Amino acid sequence: MTGERIGTRATAWAATVVVGLTSGGVIGADTARADDSIDTLSAQQIVDRSRDAFLSAHSLHLSTRGDPGNGSAPTSLDLIVDRAGNCTGSVGLGGKLGSVRIVKRGNTVWVKPDADFWKNRAPGVGSALAAILAGRYIKGSASDPRLSSLSSACDLDTFQKVVSDNADTGKGTLTKGRKTTLAGASVVPLVRTWHGQKLTMYVAATGKPYPLRIDVTGGSPKADATVGFSAFDKPVPTTTPPPDETVDISAQETRTT
């Protein structure tokens, strides 16, 4: 259905942002514990605890928006994901390229592209598929090459592995700000600057020190984007599209050949 690794590209960028701010120290064995006085710790100690808390999560709500400044279209994510690869939410391709709703349970995935997505497919093919689908989901195996570029966005385990594998590549200057509030939550802001780019991470100051938001600005090319995290360890909704709102991808292939 798509020739580009949409899901992989979007999640890889989000993981890179996390790595860029949380790298630079070895994770301690007890760093994921709750600590109501985390703002008294050094910037690096808070980073270490926040990274470990993030890696301990079994599920979360991930959102990205803005221009990552990497020269490609500004993709976006709004997904609830878990380590088992289940997810629900949407992937945006940027600009007028459209967006896709996605639901994944186990090895089964449902995707529903919007009108702009179909307009940007190969001439004739997109409009034909849009007519066949009539607003329904495409259902198939997550390993199907036509769906895997999107279903790959659902893998929290891989996302966390990218962060873990790059835990010791600290760059630039790391500083700690004063405790403040973010959307009603008490947080400690941490700032890492590197080659003109500024990454600001807001870490929960009470309970587990989860990273709640990372803002990226500046650099070359210039970035202006946000990665948000919430709903840690809350289960992915189990609701899937009903049969009358889906088209099996094998049936779709038969009708368009």
pLDDT tens-digit readout, 13-57: 566 556 555 554 433 334 444 455 788 999 989 988 998 999 999
- For residue 224, is it within any domain? yes
Helices in the chain by DSSP H: which ranges?
Answer: 6-22, 43-56, 115-119, 125-133, 145-151, 156-165, 249-255
Q: Which domain holds residue 25?
A: 6-230
pLDDT at position 16 is 59
CATH code for the domain in which residue 40 is found: 2.50.20.20
- For residue 205, is it within any domain? yes
Q: Supply the pTM of this predicted model.
A: 0.82
pLDDT at position 165 is 66
pLDDT at position 173 is 85
Contact 82, 59 (CB under 8 A): yes
- For residue 242, is it within any domain? no
- For residue 63, is it within any domain? yes
Please give the tally of structural domains in the chain: 1
202 SS3 class: strand
What is the rounded distance in angstroms from the CA atom of residue 59 to the CA atom of residue 79? Answer: 10
- For residue 104, is it within any domain? yes
Q: Which helix (H) or strand (E) holds 101?
A: strand 99-105
- For residue 62, is it within any domain? yes
Residues of the chain with pLDDT under 70: 1-36, 68-74, 122-124, 165-171, 251-257
- Number of Cβ within a 10 Å radius of residue 254: 9
- For residue 101, is it within any domain? yes
Q: Fill in the DSSP letter of residue 200.
A: E
- For residue 252, is it within any domain? no
- Number of Cβ within a 10 Å radius of residue 44: 14
